[in-house]
Structure 1
């Protein structure tokens, strides 16, 4: 049976900090829109306070989360224990996108190691934390991070990344604008 909390406690924070992968889900308001879920890694997640988290978002083939946050702010993040005791932890909240030219960027960016593929930082005000058993989650062994996003971004260069984002990250698959524009 799941348990709910109004904030991220020390036990939750320690669990989150041990995970090498997490998942981010968002959706548009339209019933015809697509629910998006994305896996994330690369030491990109930070707990800022009991009710605030942030993650470093890198350039990808789409920018659905940004579009959904701009439209309605709803976001869920899920962490699963793939080793040790079984556990699933979800963070529910309302998020926003912070871009490099915005005032908040410097303070938030200082929390991360920026990469050539860094696109934005997603900040979430957490209003509910849920833990559940995770008995069905299999064991997996962490063997390291992939470096393709770094190499890809370095090969593109600043101008190439800007052109790619213009082409692939400006509008969501459901036609919603993203925070990049």
Structure 2
């Protein structure tokens, strides 16, 4: 009979570091060489030379990294909206507990569907004349009201409201509550 937590005589308590390391070991052994196709977004190339990006499809996304030693062999420069196929391993960045894809190889696969949808919408709006100069309204020198999208209970909203009260007293602030992380 399987032991339930209540019937177990010994309890094993892991530190967060131990839990993350065990999770990392499991992920890396089970998913050590996978091919994934996705559209690039949030692409950045800091001075370290590494690539950091998000790969996504219409329903999901995963953070990814391609380190300098691997990305030097690429025959193209990745860009947001580009569809790629990558080979890599799934890993866990233990300090944050975030799982990610460590890319070892990347191939171009064309423009992503999300990028095509965006370009199609942009073309449609342009053909309707919505980008014409006479359609645009001039921006006011100062806003008449502000909208803030954040958690209504976090430290960030208190800081924002404090600064706004000091710098722009009297401007109404609309708060749109959303769950936030980090």
TM-score, structure 2 normalization: 0.26
* Greater relative contact order structure (CA < 8 Å, 6+ sep): 1
Question: Could you say which structure has the larger radius of gyration?
Answer: 2
TM-score under structure 1 length normalisation? 0.26
